[in-house]
Structure 1
């Protein structure tokens, strides 16, 4: 996809800029291509921890044991990022989370994985299951740290959506991502996220770097009540990572203006219904539907409703039955669920027979066209 079509060009091989309020993608580059996450995988590690707290299985005061495995594989002797937790010690979850988020501690990540799931492999399967539940279909995790594994891959778009979910669902716990430093075991370490020191409204999230991944960053910033989330990965240096993240955020805040396309409660469209008391069901979104569009742009906006249909009865009011896809040029700017605005029950025997006849006839047409 030509970056010029988006009025911006990034050095990053992988990049996404997401507006949190609308879900609109303002910029993307190889956004759905699989890439190596490095420590960006720890965002999913933290998701599991936050969910465990929310469901009452853990508290911030829960004590997490530091096993010999966590100490050897992720502690100071490993040579990687660490919170320097002592072997066989017990550490409060509140400190473990700071060790993971602020210091990118591999020892803290492994200890958390062992506490929640018994071992890191089981925890990684849990990470993958949890992101699948959020509708993220491509990302696969094999460990809690982001250490190299040929099967561990994510996409920039899914990292942005995962981060947005964490920000919106766990606002109090998310504040840890904006913490500038953390001292543990008398060792003071600063947050590795360079955006936090740039005076651009940044309050998260995470950096990553291993040889197979290059330098990556997931960041978020708020200006004038608007939150943007940026993902860049595959850059050559830490400076490039910081510069590209900052430039994308500043460009996003400067270059776009909000546009409402549907008010809350508006009917967005309809979907066909098979065997119902009526042949179509009205669709609506949850809340208003907004886009961010380039200031002064005349780019063509295309919107379409996608669903597997015709829908079968009964269709319950409020059920998610379709999606609204909006594109701006080559950029998929919006992809949100649509819900049935009414209930459609089964129709009369005569109407169902008519629908069946029409479906058979349509099937014949599709089959004939498929042969041509």
Structure 2
């Protein structure tokens, strides 16, 4: 899976910088779960949370990473949806009482069917078969899972298998799982649509998607349930709704609820609270010039700056007019300066409180000035 370094940098900046403390608004509902969060995926802001960085047992939420890696293999041409694979005998060693799509021994299965078995039916046998299809064996696939988690910035996550059956070395946090989920939606929107499928039949066995919200709310289009005796009932849910300012998407991660019904109920309460109490406001377009800064010892004396992605911010309903911004820049700016290198921070405040800190980057390359130009600017800086 190859992505350019600039893509990774922008993605990590997006999550590490834009995710900030909650704005002043109505109190979030009391959620009955061990840990949870609500995320506006358009702005990248966490709107409410509790114990989102606490280590948890991800259970079948682990299968999001398995799906992500399979999606990547399909996009890169290493696998195809119509390709058939035969799972090894490892899948027969799985817990007999765990979730399965019921693959027959030594029977070829299409990658597409395995994906539906993984996502809709939450089949542990499907997870193993797909892991082997991508990497040859489980150990190699698990190593790939952990490399990808590190790349995404999932700092408190470690995977030990592709399915999520209990293991002390398989752990994550609500926050880390939200990073994984939002990457999956953004990187593979077409394949993500499988998460909205309500039921799937394989080997003449029909199984329903365990995500109750697919029946309760037509705006919910995913994502994944998880359950173990020790970890309780968990659900990552995502809903897309239209608003006066455009399409919006909210995501919840609810970990450790007491029942299947409770995880769905609490997730829906969070989704509705987020949509009802916040606006998502677009501040700047990608590459839009927000300021022009002085440059010293460079081939240019002025540098346009902005962002390398569209910038949105989440604010309480009706509060957009009270937003203010302050640009904190590096001083002095001395050439050479690479395009897309960070040169400052734009702090967005609401009623005097910082709600977002945005990485400001150079929109052009500035090379070093001639010898005389550098000498002249050096003298000027002495008196600045």
* TM, length-normalised to structure 1: 0.81
Q: Distance in 2 between matches of 1:131 and 1:215?
A: 23
1:150 equivalent in alignment to 2:171: no
Q: Distance in 1 between matches of 2:36 and 2:307?
A: 27
Q: Distance in 1 between matches of 2:179 and 2:328?
A: 20
Task: Give 1:213's aligned residue.
Answer: 231
Q: 1:327 to 1:235 in 2, by over 3 A?
A: farther
**RMSD (Å), alpha carbons:** 3.6
Q: Tell me the CA shift for residue 347 of structure 1.
A: 4.6
Q: Distance in 2 between matches of 1:289 and 1:52?
A: 30
What is the CA deviation profile of residues 60-88 of structure 1, one whole-angstrom value per residue up to 9, with x for unaligned ones? 012221221112216xxx21011011122
1:249 equivalent in alignment to 2:263: no
What is the CA deviation profile of residues 223-275 of structure 1, one whole-angstrom value per residue up to 9, with x for unaligned ones? 21322111111222222211111101111111112333335544457899897
> Which of 21, 35, 39 is the equivalent residue of 1:14?
35
> Which of 124, 127, 147 is the equivalent residue of 2:142?
124
Q: 1:340 to 1:2 in 2, by over 3 A?
A: closer
Q: Distance in 2 between matches of 1:222 and 1:285?
A: 25
Secondary structure of 2:52's counterpart equals coil
Q: Tell me the CA shift for residue 44 of structure 1.
A: 0.6
Note the 1:234-273 alignment, pairs <5 A: 234-267=256-289
Matched pairs, number = 355
Secondary structure of 2:69's counterpart equals helix
Q: 1:169 to 1:223 in 2, by over 3 A?
A: same
Q: Distance in 1 between matches of 2:47 and 2:369?
A: 44
Q: Tell me the CA shift for residue 59 of structure 1.
A: 0.4
1:90 equivalent in alignment to 2:108: yes
Secondary structure of 2:94's counterpart equals helix
Task: Give 1:25's aligned residue.
Answer: 46
Q: Distance in 2 between matches of 1:311 and 1:142?
A: 46
Any gaps of 5 or more consecutive residues in structure 2?
1-20, 379-384
Q: Distance in 2 between matches of 1:254 and 1:155?
A: 26
Task: Give 1:167's aligned residue.
Answer: 185
Note the 1:1-372 alignment, pairs <5 A: 7-9=27-29, 10-73=31-94, 78-224=96-242, 225-267=247-289, 282-296=304-318, 314-319=336-341, 334=356, 338-347=360-369
Secondary structure of 1:71's counterpart equals helix
Q: 1:274 to 1:266 in 2, by over 3 A?
A: same
